[in-house]
């Protein structure tokens, strides 16, 4: 099976590793763990990428720039922040140095132009084979229900209104329904949650359309500049809550990386996010207990098998006692499930520099 290695070089202004450290780590990966691509970002020190790119290209490995879209960019450019339906700012969450989860309005042309501007200023002269777009979503329940019911700014409200959804009407339904607003019909493994509220279902559908339009415009820009494009995607079960429509986003990209993090107690971790959902929707009884085991993983992957682009699910291989308590057995089980599910490969996430050698070896001969 082919692999993509992911490296968090650091935030815009704080670099975690030298080029030599990264080259040494990549050079130590066993031959039976074939690396096809490397995703690296998003520190702005272009000299580091040049050295790493020379090494990777000498080995026939592609290099993708890891570039956030609806988060992080505001540290370099003036960004329009996302708002909830009541036009209040969303809570942010600092996960690690150089990364935060403050989200920006997905309909703002200025925010899209910021991504292009940052790329052109800091990265356009580097010989990247492709661009890996991250944070292409709205907030999850890390910002409470308001994060999921975003963005409600005037520009987004105009978009919804043009598509026959009045956000004022949505708020009225929300206030009258109480906790029942979020109720789902019977859960069927391997399928999206089906909402009892038609207006909530319509909001999520239109949010997915809105985000896809913005992201696809970025994809066209990079494609026109002869770059391949990969996308970082939320796990399918809850993707509609954050505005990600796999069908619309995957149509013209080279690969997608669904984040299948079953051992991550942090944003994008499956169990972490699902329990945040349930605790945020206090009083809602319709969300069942779900065991996030191998069968769940296989069911999630079966849902995306038909997509035309290449599919490289992300499996966390780094270890952090407080965040990612991974081990070789878990990694091997996950990667075998990825292979058995007919995927094109897997991404070794989310920072291979923090992966113990035995974790990387667990990916061998699969």
pTM of the model: 0.97
Residue 196 lies in a domain: no
Residue 169 lies in a domain: no
Question: Residue 280 belongs to what domain range?
Answer: 2-80+95-139+208-361
Burial of 196 by CB count in 10 Å (0-12 exposed, 13-18 middle, 19+ buried)?
middle
CATH of residue 8: 3.20.20.80
Residue 324 lies in a domain: yes
Position 21 scores a pLDDT of: 98
d(CA 224, CA 353): 32
Number of domains forming the structure of the chain? 1
Position 29 scores a pLDDT of: 98
Alpha helices in the chain (DSSP H): 19-27, 46-58, 109-122, 144-148, 154-162, 167-177, 198-224, 246-249, 270-280, 294-302, 328-340, 357-361
Residue 64 lies in a domain: yes
Output the six-digit token pair for 257.
């990386």
Position 212 scores a pLDDT of: 99
Q: In what order do the strands lie in the sheet with 255-258?
A: 310-311, 255-258, 228-233, 130-134, 62-68, 35-41, 2-8, 345-349, 314-316
Maximum CA extent, the chain: 62
Residue 163 lies in a domain: no
Residue 219 lies in a domain: yes
Residue 26 lies in a domain: yes
Q: Which residues of the chain have pLDDT under 50?
A: none
d(CA 353, CA 326): 14
pLDDT in tens, 78-136: 999 999 999 999 977 666 665 677 899 999 999 999 999 999 999 999 999 999 999 99
Residue with tokens 């010989």: 127
Q: Is the dihedral of CA 360, 246, 182, 287 positive or negative?
A: negative
């Amino acid at each position: 099976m082919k692999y993509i290695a992911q490296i968090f070089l650091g935030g815009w202004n704080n670099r975690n590793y030298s080029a030599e450290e990264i080259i040494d780590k990549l050079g130590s990966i066993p031959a039976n763990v074939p690396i096809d691509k490397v995703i690296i970002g998003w520190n702005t020190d272009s000299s580091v990428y040049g050295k790493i790119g020379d090494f990777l290209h000498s080995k026939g490995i592609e290099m993708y720039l890891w570039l956030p879209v609806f988060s992080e960019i505001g540290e370099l450019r003036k960004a329009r922040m996302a708002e909830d339906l009541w036009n209040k700012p969303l809570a942010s969450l600092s996960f690690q140095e150089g990364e935060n989860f403050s989200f920006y309005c997905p309909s703002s042309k200025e925010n899209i132009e910021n991504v292009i501007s940052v790329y052109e200023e800091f990265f356009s002269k580097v010989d990247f084979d492709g661009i890996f777009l991250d944070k292409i979503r709205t907030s999850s329940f890390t910002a409470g229900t308001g994060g999921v019911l975003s963005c409600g700014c005037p520009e987004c409200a105009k978009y919804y209104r043009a598509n026959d959804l009045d956000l004022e009407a949505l708020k009225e339904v929300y206030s009258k329904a109480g906790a029942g607003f979020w109720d789902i019909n019977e859960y069927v493994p391997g399928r999206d949650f089906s909402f009892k509220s038609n207006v909530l279902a319509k909001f999520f559908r239109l949010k997915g359309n809105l985000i896809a339009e913005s992201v696809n415009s970025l994809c066209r820009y990079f494609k026109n500049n002869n770059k391949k494009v990969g996308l970082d995607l939320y796990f399918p079960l809850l993707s509609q809550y954050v505005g990600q429509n796999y069908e619309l986003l995957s149509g013209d990209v080279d690969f997608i990386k669904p984040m299948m993090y079953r051992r991550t107690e942090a944003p994008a971790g499956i169990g972490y996010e699902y329990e945040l959902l349930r605790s945020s929707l206090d009083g809602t009884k319709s969300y069942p207990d779900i065991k996030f085991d191998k069968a769940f993983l296989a069911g999630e992957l079966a849902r995306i098998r038909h997509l035309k682009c290449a599919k490289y699910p992300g499996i966390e291989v780094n270890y952090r006692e407080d965040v990612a308590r991974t081990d070789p057995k878990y990694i091997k089980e996950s990667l075998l499930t990825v292979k058995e599910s007919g995927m094109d490969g897997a991404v070794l996430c989310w920072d291979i520099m923090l992966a113990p050698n035995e974790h990387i070896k667990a990916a061998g001969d699969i």
